[in-house]
């Protein structure tokens, strides 16, 4: 591209990438996000080779060695009546219950990493699926207009009218007992695909509406009208003119939807409506920690912190991405 | 002076509705006939529970929370002592005026009805009410009609045609003398104890023969249920026709009113009791609150020993536990220590290895499923799991890799145990999972053989202190009813040899209780060798009282006696 001053300028994607890289807070958050993902990916390595424990098997009667001394994982409470036992708290030693144990005597750190795998897998997959479905709906409604637009838009309005968590909980309650049956495809109730599908579905209206709006704007843009007047087929206009122009909007939505999906997954799992035992997610670990909040608050705090850090990183990175991809903003910045 | 005395006497007589003419009338009765203990009486007792305890029909409901309420509303001919102290082996007379007369080697039992007892409606109790109540047990399909009362002559006919039940020749009453004679098909030394269980309470003759649902029939106890809405609350107030006849059998109540509210989570209930908003909660104290209670509310915590057992019933008619070696392997593999931990630790629970719990008649230590023990060489107590032996048995059974579902009640304590069992099964090579249900749904669900439940996690409290309450009720051939929600033999297990030993034990105990106990212990060993269940733990009940409660409110069988709550 040649600028008015006669110098060659980079394309919009290169400019956006440069703008993103120059945004320190966005890049820091991307780093944090990648670190969280990396840690979670290596959960089996940590559990089997460092902590040497199976985080899915109850171990309340087990022992561990701390500072050379063998000690019970479940420890008697110090009270005159000797009532109850509590799991061991954080040892801060990676080889022996770094963050302590949960009420089943399982290594909390290992479960946190395994839980992160499921939480992140569900939230990223749900966001991706949501974007695909929302794009299909938004483009169909915005580009077709007329009856199709009316039907799809009203359908989205109806879904929007139902509080998102109430909608997700209702769907989860149905699928948790019977699984999911879509035509010939049957998904069992304890499959991760169930929360992925539910979370993706409930956020479709939130993503479809801005996409539809952008498509409607583009449909009447001069270059689209010009293409139409030249007799370019509709599908070609859609592929060559509309899709590339809505891509930045979709990309900007992705991290924000992922953050929302992560929160939704944690909420559903906390209510026993998401990931099913013995599998873990950050939400199920918080639920495990609910009963230990007085004695071992770390069980609830650790996954809570993981959620906060990940969601914050996603949101700040999403803001940076939006700033980088917003062409008008970029043009203004470039003077 | 004499005239003054006569006038005073007449005033008192008419105000008490004639109750003072009773030969054994209590001198502490108030002028309106209501017994009201002099000190600490009055106030409103506030109770709470997570959910309503089900039907208010005392001959139908089998849930402990309702049995506790009914203990202060209804009476039977016999009852269990409603007083603190050690467990008494036998029932005490309640509406009967003394211990029954045993005739014909325990095949005939003669009771004499106490005089001048009134229902809360003011109706005088007669032998007709006793006969009608015994018939109603069958007519209303009481859960204990079969196991406890079918051996009354005419009882088996009543089981088949409940609505036509007469118990002709089985229950013979003489209204004039107040005598009721029970004729049984075989000797039963435990018959008075069975009559003390809540389902044998005496109701007015004209009580509906259908489950009364939320409407509680009148009773003879110190309280009457005035309203019951399972969605919100139950209210009780004094039965103005009650006067105490025996403080051990049915003590007069201290509180004037009792309000029982439903719908709170156990965590919230504990906090509410700590803050004085409620006086007592029906649920066990959640495990995470035990430390706090032991530290800060020591004087308000009560630990109650009672006969109970947590166990997993293995379906012997469905794979993989239709295989004896698979059942034995599971028994060897389960860590009872883990179960003790899940129930609050050694101060609260002990490992269970047999179906007769410690402290119950007939208990003789014999643990077959611990390291180094076997059915032919049991150990005195459970020590630790034997995973090596368990894995060997699993290999021999060829059942590894099969899917196993544990059906558990949806309460934290049960779920913790269920997850422990799931982990154990996973270690043995099964693909195990847990399915949880609300307890009121789970209990009938796991009993029905049509549901093909492989492992049912459940608990059992003694209806009365006897080995039969565990062995006969839970594991005899006659308590397995295929396709029925009312089949307490959840394993579907039938061992004719064990049944024969139980029958012998019952017959021998009529004359020699000790010899009978030894036979019950032998039956326990015989049953456990077949491993139809996995006994897990026996627990003490931990309950919390509000700061305004005084006095000893616990009792071994009922656990808690509401009438004994003295409120400041």
- Going from N- to C-terminal start, the domains of chain B cover 2-50+216-305+542-567, 80-200, 308-539
Among B14-28, B258-272, B304-318, B417-431, the minimum mean pLDDT is found in B14-28
CA distance B545 to chain A (A): 15
Q: Are B283 and B49 in contact (CB under 8 A)?
A: yes
pLDDT at B340: 95
Partner residue opposite A58 with nearest CB, options B289, B290, B423: B423
In this complex, do B301 and A83 lie within 8 Å of one another by their Cβ atoms?
A: yes
Q: Which of B285, B338, B340 to mutate to test the interface with A (most CBs of A within 10 A)?
A: B338
pLDDT at A6: 53
| C-alpha span between B567 and B373 (Å, rounded) | 52
Q: Which of A59, A62, A74, A81 to mutate to test the interface with B (most CBs of B within 10 A)?
A: A81
Mean pLDDT of the residues in chain B: 90
Q: Which residues contact A6 (CB under 8 A, 6 or more apart)?
A: none
The reported pTM is 0.78
In this complex, do A58 and B344 lie within 8 Å of one another by their Cβ atoms?
A: no
CATH no. for A24-334:
1.10.3720.10
Find the mean pLDDT for residues B302-329.
95
Confidence at B244, pLDDT banded by 50, 70, 90: very high
For chain A, give every domain's residue range. 24-334
pLDDT at B4: 40
Nearest-Cα residue of chain B relative to residue A272: B436
- pLDDT over 70 at B1, yes or no: no
| C-alpha span between A19 and A10 (Å, rounded) | 12
B442-459 residue pLDDT tens? 888 999 999 999 999 999
State the greatest distance between any 2 C-alpha atoms of chain A, in Å, as a whole number: 89
Q: Which residues of A touch B335 (CB under 8 A)?
A: 60-61
For residue B282, the number of C-alpha atoms closer than 13 Å in the C-beta half-sphere is 21
In this complex, do B298 and A80 lie within 8 Å of one another by their Cβ atoms?
A: yes
Complex confidence, ipTM = 0.71
Nearest-Cα residue of chain A relative to residue B418: A58
CATH no. for B308-539:
3.10.105.10
Q: Are A83 and B295 in contact (CB under 8 A)?
A: no
* b/e A155-190 (16+ beta carbons within 10 angstroms → b): ebeebeeeebeebbbebbeebbeeebeeeeeebeee
Among A135-139, A194-198, A206-210, B287-291, the minimum mean pLDDT is found in B287-291
Nearest-Cα residue of chain A relative to residue B425: A57
Partner residue opposite B341 with nearest CB, options A81, A85, A277: A85
pLDDT at A7: 58
Partner residue opposite B335 with nearest CB, options A56, A61, A76: A61
pLDDT at B38: 57
Nearest-Cα residue of chain B relative to residue A293: B288
**B80-200 belongs to which homologous superfamily?**
Dipeptide-binding Protein; Domain 1 (3.90.76.10)
pLDDT at B119: 97
| C-alpha span between B64 and B81 (Å, rounded) | 16
Enter the DSSP assignment of A261: H
CATH class of the region B2-50+216-305+542-567: alpha beta
Q: Which of B351, B410, B419 to mutate to test the interface with A (most CBs of A within 10 A)?
A: B419
pLDDT at A328: 52
- pLDDT over 90 at B86, yes or no: no
Partner residue opposite A57 with nearest CB, options B288, B293, B423: B423
CA distance A181 to chain B (A): 20
């Amino acid at each position: 591209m040649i600028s008015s001053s006669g110098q060659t300028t980079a394309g919009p994607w290169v400019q956006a990438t440069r703008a993103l890289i120059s945004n320190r807070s966005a890049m820091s958050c991307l780093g944090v996000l990648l670190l969280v993902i990396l840690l979670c990916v290596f959960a089996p390595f940590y559990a089997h080779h460092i902590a040497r424990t199976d985080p899915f098997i109850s171990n309340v009667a087990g022992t561990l060695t701390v500072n050379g001394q063998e000690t019970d994982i479940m420890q008697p409470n110090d009270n005159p009546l000797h009532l109850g036992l509590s799991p061991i708290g954080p040892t801060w030693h990676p080889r022996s219950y770094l963050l302590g144990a949960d009420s089943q005597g399982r290594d909390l750190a290992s479960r946190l990493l395994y839980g992160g795998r499921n939480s992140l897998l569900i939230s990223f997959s749900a966001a991706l699926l949501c974007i695909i479905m929302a794009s299909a709906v938004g483009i169909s409604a915005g580009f077709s207009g007329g009856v199709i637009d009316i039907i799809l838009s009203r359908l989205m309005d109806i879904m929007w009218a139902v509080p998102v968590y109430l909608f997700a909980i209702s769907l989860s309650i149905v699928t948790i007992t019977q699984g999911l049956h879509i035509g010939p495809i049957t998904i069992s109730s304890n499959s991760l695909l169930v929360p992925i599908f539910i979370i993706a579905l409930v956020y479709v209206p939130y993503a479809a509406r801005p996409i539809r709006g952008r498509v409607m704007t583009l449909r009447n843009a001069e270059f689209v009208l010009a293409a139409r007047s030249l007799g370019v087929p509709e599908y070609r206009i859609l592929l060559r003119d509309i899709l590339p122009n809505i891509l930045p909007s979709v990309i900007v939505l992705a991290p924000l939807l992922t953050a929302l999906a992560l929160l939704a997954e944690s909420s559903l799992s906390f209510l026993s409506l998401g990931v099913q035992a013995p599998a873990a997610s950050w939400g199920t670990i918080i639920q495990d920690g609910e009963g230990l909040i007085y004695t071992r608050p770390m069980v609830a705090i650790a996954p809570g912190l993981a959620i906060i850090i990940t969601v914050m990183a996603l949101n700040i990175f999403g803001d940076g991405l939006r700033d980088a991809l917003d062409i008008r903003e970029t043009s203004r910045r470039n003077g | 002076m004499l005239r003054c005395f006569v006038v005073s006497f007449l005033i008192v007589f008419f105000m008490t509705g004639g109750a003072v003419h009773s030969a054994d009338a209590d001198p502490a009765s108030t002028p309106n006939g209501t017994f009201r203990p002099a000190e600490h009486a009055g106030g409103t007792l506030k109770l709470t529970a997570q959910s309503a305890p089900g039907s208010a029909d005392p001959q139908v409901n089998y849930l402990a929370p309702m049995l506790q309420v009914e203990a202060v509303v209804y009476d039977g001919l016999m009852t269990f002592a409603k007083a603190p102290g050690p467990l008494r082996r036998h029932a005490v007379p309640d509406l009967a005026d003394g211990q029954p007369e045993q005739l014909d080697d325990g095949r005939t039992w003669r009771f004499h009805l106490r005089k001048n007892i009134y229902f809360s409606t003011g109706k005088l109790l007669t032998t007709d009410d006793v006969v009608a109540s015994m018939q109603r047990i069958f007519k209303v399909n009481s859960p204990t009609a079969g196991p406890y009362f079918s051996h009354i002559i005419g009882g088996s006919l009543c089981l088949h045609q409940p609505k036509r039940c007469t118990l002709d020749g089985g229950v013979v009453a003489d209204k004039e003398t107040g005598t009721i004679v029970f004729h049984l098909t075989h000797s039963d030394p435990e018959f008075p104890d069975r009559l003390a269980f809540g389902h044998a309470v005496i109701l007015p003759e004209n009580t509906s023969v259908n489950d009364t649902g939320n409407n509680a029939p009148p009773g003879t106890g110190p309280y009457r249920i005035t309203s019951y809405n399972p969605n919100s609350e139950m209210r009780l107030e004094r039965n103005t026709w009650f006067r105490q006849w025996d403080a051990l059998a049915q003590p007069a109540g201290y509180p004037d009113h009792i309000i029982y509210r439903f719908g709170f989570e156990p965590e919230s209930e504990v906090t509410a009791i700590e803050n004085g908003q409620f006086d007592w909660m029906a649920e066990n104290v959640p495990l995470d609150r035990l430390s706090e209670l032991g530290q800060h509310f020591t004087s308000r915590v009560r630990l109650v020993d009672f006969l109970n057992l947590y166990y997993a019933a293995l379906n012997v008619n469905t794979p993989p536990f239709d295989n004896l070696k698979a059942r034995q392997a599971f028994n060897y593999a389960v860590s009872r220590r883990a179960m003790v931990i899940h129930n609050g630790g050694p101060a609260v629970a002990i490992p269970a290895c047999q179906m007769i719990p410690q402290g119950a008649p007939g208990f003789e230590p014999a643990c077959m499923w611990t390291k180094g023990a076997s059915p032919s060489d049991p150990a005195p107590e459970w020590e630790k799991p034997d995973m090596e032996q368990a894995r060997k048995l699993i290999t021999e059974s060829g059942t590894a890799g099969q899917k196993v579902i544990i059906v558990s009640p949806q309460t934290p304590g049960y779920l913790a145990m269920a997850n422990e069992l799931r982990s154990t099964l996973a270690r043995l090579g099964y693909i195990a999972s847990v399915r949880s249900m609300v307890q009121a749904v789970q209990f009938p669900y796991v009993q029905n053989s049509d549901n093909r439940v492989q492992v049912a996690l459940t608990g059992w409290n003694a209806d009365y202190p006897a080995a039969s309450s565990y062995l006969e009720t839970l594991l005899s051939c006659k308590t397995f009813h295929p396709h029925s929600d009312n089949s307490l033999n959840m394993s579907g297990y039938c061992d004719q040899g064990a049944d024969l030993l139980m029958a012998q034990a019952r017959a021998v105990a009529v004359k020699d209780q000790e010899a009978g106990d030894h036979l019950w212990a032998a039956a326990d060993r015989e049953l456990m060798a077949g491993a139809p269940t996995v006994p897990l733990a026996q627990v003490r009940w931990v309950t919390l009282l509000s700061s305004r409660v005084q006095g000893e409110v616990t009792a071994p069988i009922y656990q808690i006696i509401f009438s004994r709550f003295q409120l400041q």
